[in-house]
Amino acid sequence: MGRTEWTDSRRLDRNRSAHRSNCRGSDNTLISFLQLILSMERLRPDETILQGGSVTIDGQVLRNPVSVRIDHLISNELIEVTTGDGGWSTLYRDPVDGRYWELSYPHSEMHGGGPRSLTHLSDEAVKNKYHVTN
């Protein structure tokens, strides 16, 4: 039976196809793993803007690692303060250093506002736009 399996070209082609599919799955798993690692990074003092986006892999449009990180930060690290612009922007505060961050959708021409961005705002900008004071 082992000999038939290797000499039958249809079975060999099926095995190759299965191997290629498994490799693609491994690539997607690796990308997901790297996105997870990057998403766990806290905001650094030198960062002022995180711009989300997407990547296309094997015909699938996936969120890029920055988008995954933004999701992690707003869900687990930052504290929501208020919303503005009719719900199109949200103000957050970093409890570690007290800085304010605005989640917004800067690409209004795209469906749903496009990829989100997380931008550091000065205290004065927060006061002017959101009427929030320290």
Report in angstroms the alpha-carbon separations of 45 from 49, 66, 89, 114, 131.
11, 17, 22, 26, 24
Q: Which residues are bridge partners to 84 per DSSP?
A: 89
**17 has pLDDT over 80:** no
Q: Rounded to an integer, what distance in angstroms lies between the CA atom of residue 101 and that of residue 94?
A: 7
What pLDDT shows up at residue 37? 65
What burial letters (b/e) apply to 12-43, b meaning 16+ CB within 10 Å?
A: eeeeeeeeeeeeeeeeeeeeeeebeeebeeeb
Structure confidence by residue, pLDDT tens digits, 60-102: 888 888 888 999 999 999 999 999 988 889 999 999 999 999 9
Which pTM value belongs to this model?
0.69
- Assign 111 a pLDDT band (cuts: 50, 70, 90): low
Q: Which residues are bridge partners to 60 per DSSP?
A: 57
**58 has pLDDT over 60:** yes
Tokens read off for 130: 């959101």
Q: Rounded to an integer, what distance in angstroms lies between the CA atom of residue 71 and that of residue 78?
A: 10
**20 has pLDDT over 60:** no
Phi-psi region of 133 (alpha: psi -120 to 50; beta: other; left: phi over 0): beta
What pLDDT shows up at residue 96? 94
